[in-house]
Amino acid sequence: MKIIDGKLISAAVKERVAKSVEQLKEQGVTVGLAVIIVGEDPASKVYVKNKKKACEALGIISEEYALPENTTQKELLDLIHELNNKKSINGILCQLPLPHHLDEKIIINSISPQKDVDAFHPYNVGRIMIGDYDFVPCTPAGIMEMLAYENIEVEGKRCVVIGRSNIVGKPMGMLLLHKNGTVTVCHSKTKDLKDICLQADILVAAVGRPKFVTQDMVREGAVVIDVGIHRTPNGLCGDVDFENVSKKVSVITPVPGGVGPMTIAMLMQNTLTAAKRQNNIDG
Ligand code: NAD
């Protein structure tokens, strides 16, 4: 059984990005990311801090816009409009969830698709659907990067994704499909979930429930990718009962140290891609 090391793979991605950022600088091109956070959500604050740190380590300019909880929709839209037109900013990210009085859909739609490094804008979602995309949501992108790094072939494999969120489950299913996997996306209304999971060569758990995937749900020798992150009194755990499932599978990702570190690395990668596209640079 192999435990995939997300820290190692994310470090490799970041190194690759840092090198490209350096090369762009030599051509007089800078790479910049704006991160907007509204309100005081403690988890969001940690994510934003980590994103800023990652930018700094990779030579990416980062601008943080920390807005008060009572920011109006117009104020937020005005800021996004300004950033859409700001040349030194290549990527814009608005940390979700937003306070309830703000309409997430309208906010996401207002970000220029060319700067939408989270790939949440309907334009980018559509491009993922047809398999012609620059940006992919960072978590599924990170999982594909892990599979490629570990030489895990997707073509012809039975892939089961548990969860159909717009951020993880759905794009994950599409990316596996583009790699010629045979994909089933399960959700809270799925019947016979265990039987479907038992068919999976590659099982991705993005359920949002601690230790939801148990040993009796996985096939002997399967590849199991755990997207979940849960804080418990005993530390972090994922959507997979790692201790027992790991005894049965061939490959598994741990929590922490699995998918989590990949997400920020892929955000850096998307920001680099945005800068290249905006400056008509291939690659
Ligand atoms: P979500 O709550 O938006 O979606 C959960 C999905 O699971 C839904 O589509 C729902 O239909 C499905 N589901 C719920 N109960 C089910 C059941 N009993 N049987 C089958 N399906 C069921 O969550 P999300 O945003 O997709 O995130 C999923 C998990 O991944 C969360 O734990 C989240 O914290 C974590 N996450 C981690 C990262 C990372 O970087 N590692 C990034 C994003 C999300």
CATH of the domain at 190: 3.40.50.720
Same domain as 255, residue 146: yes
Q: Tell me how far apart the alpha carbons of residues 269 and 225 are, in angstroms, rounded to a whole number.
A: 21
pTM: 0.97
- Ligand 1 centroid from CA 14, angstroms: 26
Instruction: Tell me the pLDDT band of 283, cut-offs 50, 70 and 90.
Output: confident
Mutation choice for ligand 1 from 44, 160, 161, 188, CB with most ligand atoms inside 8 A: 188
Residues in contact with 78: Cβ distance below 8 Å, sequence separation at least 6, in sequence order: none
Q: What's the rounded mean pLDDT across residues 23-32?
A: 97
Residues in contact with 263: Cβ distance below 8 Å, sequence separation at least 6, in sequence order: 138, 139, 142
Q: Is residue 157 part of a domain?
A: yes
Q: Tell me how far apart the alpha carbons of residues 179 and 15 are, in angstroms, rounded to a whole number.
A: 25
Q: What's the rounded mean pLDDT across residues 18-27?
A: 97
Per the structure, the count of domains in the chain is 2
**What's the pLDDT score for residue 275?**
98
**What's the pLDDT score for residue 185?**
98
Retrieve residue 12's tokens: 């490799």
Same domain as 108, residue 69: yes
Q: Is residue 85 part of a domain?
A: yes
pLDDT digits 0-9 by tens, 155-211: 999 999 999 999 999 999 999 999 999 999 999 999 999 999 999 999 999 999 999
- Is residue 19 part of the annotated active site? The answer reads no
Retrieve residue 259's tokens: 């998918």
- The domain in which residue 153 lies consists of 138-260
> Rounded to an integer, what is the distance from CA 91 to the centroid of its chain?
15
pLDDT digits 0-9 by tens, 86-137: 999 999 999 999 999 999 999 999 999 999 999 999 999 999 999 999 999 9
What is the average pLDDT score of the chain? Answer: 97
Same domain as 66, residue 155: no
Same domain as 162, residue 50: no
Q: Is residue 184 part of a domain?
A: yes
- Residue with CA closest to ligand 1 atom 19: 188
| Closest by CA position to 71, among listed 106, 96, 108, 39 | 39
Is pLDDT above 90 for 152?
Answer: yes
Q: Is residue 193 part of a domain?
A: yes
Burial class, 184, CB count within 10 angstroms (exposed 0-12 / middle 13-18 / buried 19+): middle
CATH of the domain at 106: 3.40.50.10860
Percent of the chain beyond pLDDT 70? 100
Number of the ligand 1 atom closest to the C-alpha atom of 258: 41
Is pLDDT above 90 for 247?
Answer: yes
Q: Tell me how far apart the alpha carbons of residues 174 and 103 are, in angstroms, rounded to a whole number.
A: 26
Q: Which residues line ligand 1 (CB under 6 A)?
A: 139, 162-165, 167-169, 186-188, 190, 193, 206-209, 227-229, 259-260, 263
Residues in contact with 200: Cβ distance below 8 Å, sequence separation at least 6, in sequence order: 158, 159, 160, 184, 218, 219, 222
Q: Is residue 37 part of a domain?
A: yes
